[in-house]
Chain A
Amino acid sequence: MMTYDELTDAAAEEIARQQGYHQCVRVCMAAGCLSQHHDAIKLALEQAVKDQGRAGEVQIKGVGCMGLCAAGPLVMVEPEGVLYERVSPEDASEIIAVLGSEPVQRLVCPTDVPFFERQVKIVLENSGVIDPESIEEYIAAGGYEGLNRALTELSPNEVIAELVRSGLRGRGGAGYPTGLKWSTVAKAISDTKYVVCNGDEGDPGAFMDRSVLESDPHRIIEGMAIAGYAVGANRGFIYVRAEYPLAIERLKLALRHAKRNALLGNNILGTGFDFNLEIRLGAGAYVCGEETALMASIEGKRGMPRPRPPYPADHGLWGAPTLVNNVETFASIAPILRRGGDWYASIGSETSKGTKVFALAGQIRNTGLIEVPMGITLTEIVHEIGGGTPNGRQVKAVQTGGPTGGCIPEAYFDTPVDYESLAKLGSIMGSGGMIVMDDSSSMVEVARYFMEFCMTESCGKCIPCRVGTAQMYRLLDKFSQGRATTADLDLLEQLCDLTLNASLCGLGQSAPNPVLSTLRYFRDEYLARLLPAEPALAPAPDSPAA
């Protein structure tokens, strides 16, 4: 049986071994850079090290996402802290040859820019730094310290109290206070309870959860084990969509390593606490990100939502009390336990504490993943960190919260990013997708695109969502083709109202958001596409043309 001290000793040994190298070249091995054949770059770098006879001096390390996907493939040289962008395998020997002297200027990516300097990394603290396939590196970076502290120093109630103090709110989108959710599940009386991690990230343009799972999988395992201890659950499920093969592979490896090191399974760290984790794969349905549909899917049923209440905290997986949190929420747990709830609460805004990871996509220069303190303004995110549009065009709006979020026009970019402020603007925080649109985007087309997404992803159970989204899509299509009438506009607004208020689950209830927010801020674009008003008396069909 491993104790925590033995684990940290093993980790320290690993660090000592790594410090034997003069230099470390970190290569991003997350899906964004891998899609640009980054594995070939790693091989080329390793070959270059061998060819130049520096095998004992230079370490080539595959790491997780470094964030600036727009400039990928990325390579980082430590300890100099030189970041190379758009690296190709042909650059490998040159990069290795100049190690320790002047860097290769044409590849250097400046790191003294707002994109790097304005970020505050908690969830992503290890991303791009440690090897996601090495548990020793995670432990050496302070990993499993939070779990050890929870198990050996705190009672379950104290863990929850720490979380309540942190002010952490659910990062899946709705922002439900995490401490409150945990205490509800903890209070439920049942022999069996479950902890579920929602990794069914399906919003177009969003890849926060994928990146965390690929870059730092142990963080999720640690967060879930702490949750299991706090709420009294001995079994958990990580629900990951099957479209994330690399995340699944790294997660599987991490689970094996954690089990081998007594950090999962029975009698964790010799404390007598048992917690077992299994992976469940989603089969491609967006609606399975809705917690009741997700649980149905884990149970092996068709992934369709059911009415709440009863909430999962009371009646979840197989009827047992179940804690469902999203990947980013679980990723925030270990740092809170390690550094305390007060520390976490000192970051962020009044109502929304801590940091939030956003995936910047669309018409923006610095496409990629960022982590910023809550309360930062949209201007700072889009113009400073994001660097504005790549072609110098005017930014028109930013779509937050995925297909069921809303479009916020540039006039409101001084709004702080927190749950309440975004809701007031008719959008949602959502899971963290941010799609930037420039003045060439048609908002009617944007609304139509997202409605098409909701229409095809509706499960088909409730009528307002199944047929309502299909009819709204038809109406938006009419607008898009310039065939709509004022009656169509009226009907569209009525359908938005119905779908919003009468749908069964969050998908339907928020599906009208893109339409409502674009109608609110860009109504003139809809009006411009109306058919010209009918003349009072249409000429008879056989009347001669004027």
Chain B
Amino acid sequence: MATRSRIKTLKINGRDVSAHEDETILDVAMEHGVFIPTLCQIEGLTISGACRLCLVEVAGWRRLVPACATHVEEGMEINTDTERLRNYRRMIIELLFSEGNHVCAVCVSNGNCELQALAQRLGMDHVRFTNLQPVRLVDMTHDRFVLDRNRCILCLRCVRVCDEIEGAHTWDVKGRGSEARVVSDLATPWGDSATCTSCGKCVNVCPVGALVKKGRAIGEMVKRQDFLPYLSNMREVKK
């Protein structure tokens, strides 16, 4: 079962580290306690590379690369925390806040929200952009869950978990650009969905208060994501 994997040596923030060739920069950084902010990435689902928060600098490379989607290479010199990156990350969080309704004080996920935690950690204390105030509908048709698209950051974890883990592919995206919305089935109410199994995986992987359980008050919605590595590890072993 044990397949051979070559070992690469590289530097992260000036520190010498070693890694398997099939590991990503993010894997190695996490292993060595180096913090790289992420939002769309979650262990157990395919890589999306969409949020761009995990961009890092590699010496001699022209472009910034997403740590989640870039494999290690011999002799890489990676910088994960420069003034430029900190600026970009803060601005990306600002853009997200400008795009929807992210008023923590009235949110069921207050205190348990990855976006909120990142904003605090990255020092985003105000938003310089005008709020775009898009028209986004709330779907409360499901018996147990709610989708509030105003809080959605389009990380597409729900789409991936439903397709890749649950195998239902209830969720997908409709529209382009600022008009992009997560929809169930063919943009029909979630409660009428013929494919949804009501497993709740989408709710648990959602990093914000967009997908939540009904009947929760402010700050009461706590997500549990430990099922995901467990399920994906089980599949790996079975293979």
Q: Are A467 and B98 in contact (CB under 8 A)?
A: yes
Q: Which residues of B contact A457 (CB under 8 A)?
A: 176-177
Q: Are A471 and B129 in contact (CB under 8 A)?
A: yes
Q: Are A466 and B180 in contact (CB under 8 A)?
A: yes
CB of B60 within 8 Å of the partner chain: no
Q: Using a CB-CB cutoff of 8 Å, which residues 30-78 of chain B contact chain A?
A: 47-52, 55, 63-64, 66, 69-70
Contact with B along A487-518 (1 / 0, CB 8 A): 10001001100100111100000000000000
Q: Are A471 and B95 in contact (CB under 8 A)?
A: yes
Q: How many B residues face the partner with a CB closer than 8 A? A: 35
Q: Using a CB-CB cutoff of 8 Å, which residues 456-470 of chain A contact chain B?
A: 456-464, 466-470
Complex Cα distance, B52 from A471, in Å, reads 17
CB of A307 within 8 Å of the partner chain: yes
CB of B148 within 8 Å of the partner chain: no
Chain A, interface size category, equals 20 to 34
Q: Known contacts being A306-B49, A501-B88, is A455 close to B178, with CB within 8 Å?
A: yes
CB of A302 within 8 Å of the partner chain: yes
Q: Are A491 and B128 in contact (CB under 8 A)?
A: yes
Complex Cα distance, B52 from A41, in Å, reads 55
Q: Which residues of A contact B87 (CB under 8 A)?
A: 494
Q: Which of A306, A462, A467 contacts B178 (CB 8 A)?
A: A467
Q: Are B178 and A460 in contact (CB under 8 A)?
A: yes
Q: Which of B52, B63, B66, B179 contacts A463 (CB 8 A)?
A: B52
CB of A474 within 8 Å of the partner chain: yes
Complex Cα distance, B92 from A495, in Å, reads 10
CB of B81 within 8 Å of the partner chain: no
Q: Are B52 and A455 in contact (CB under 8 A)?
A: no
CB of B173 within 8 Å of the partner chain: yes
Q: Are B176 and A456 in contact (CB under 8 A)?
A: yes
Q: Which residues of A contact B66 (CB under 8 A)?
A: 307, 504
Q: Are A468 and B95 in contact (CB under 8 A)?
A: yes
Q: Known contacts being A307-B47, A458-B176, A502-B55, is A466 close to B154, with CB within 8 Å?
A: yes
Q: Which of B50, B63, B175, B177 contacts A501 (CB 8 A)?
A: B63
Q: Which residues of A contact B91 (CB under 8 A)?
A: 494-495, 498
The count of A-to-B residue pairs whose CB atoms sit within 8 angstroms is: 99
Q: Which residues of A contact B99 (CB under 8 A)?
A: 466-467, 470
CB of A285 within 8 Å of the partner chain: yes
CB distance from B123 to the nearest CB of A (A): 16
Complex Cα distance, B95 from A455, in Å, reads 14
Q: Are A501 and B64 in contact (CB under 8 A)?
A: yes
Q: Known contacts being A306-B49, A462-B51, A467-B132, is A502 close to B88, with CB within 8 Å?
A: yes
Q: Which residues of B contact A468 (CB under 8 A)?
A: 95
Q: Which residues of B contact A469 (CB under 8 A)?
A: 177
Q: Known contacts being A307-B66, A307-B69, is A504 close to B179, with CB within 8 Å?
A: no
CB distance from A2 to the nearest CB of B (A): 46
Q: Known contacts being A491-B128, A494-B91, is A467 close to B52, with CB within 8 Å?
A: no
CB distance from B125 to the nearest CB of A (A): 16
Q: Known contacts being A498-B88, A501-B63, is A460 close to B179, with CB within 8 Å?
A: yes
Q: Are A502 and B178 in contact (CB under 8 A)?
A: no
Q: Which residues of B contact A487 (CB under 8 A)?
A: 128
CB of B228 within 8 Å of the partner chain: no
Q: Which residues of A contact B55 (CB under 8 A)?
A: 502
CB distance from B31 to the nearest CB of A (A): 21
Binding site for A on B (CB under 8 A): 47-52, 55, 63-64, 66, 69-70, 87-88, 91-92, 95-96, 98-99, 128-130, 132, 153-154, 156, 172-173, 175-180
Some 18 contacts from A to B, beta carbons below 8 A apart, are A309-B70, A457-B176, A457-B177, A458-B176, A458-B177, A459-B176, A461-B154, A463-B50, A464-B92, A466-B177, A467-B96, A467-B99, A470-B99, A470-B177, A494-B87, A495-B91, A502-B64, A504-B52
The 3 closest A-B pairs by CB, nearest first: A460-B180, A307-B49, A467-B95
16 new A-B pairs (CB below 8 Å) besides A461-B154, A462-B50?
A: A302-B173, A306-B48, A307-B66, A455-B177, A458-B177, A459-B177, A460-B154, A462-B51, A463-B52, A467-B99, A470-B99, A470-B132, A491-B129, A495-B91, A503-B52, A504-B66
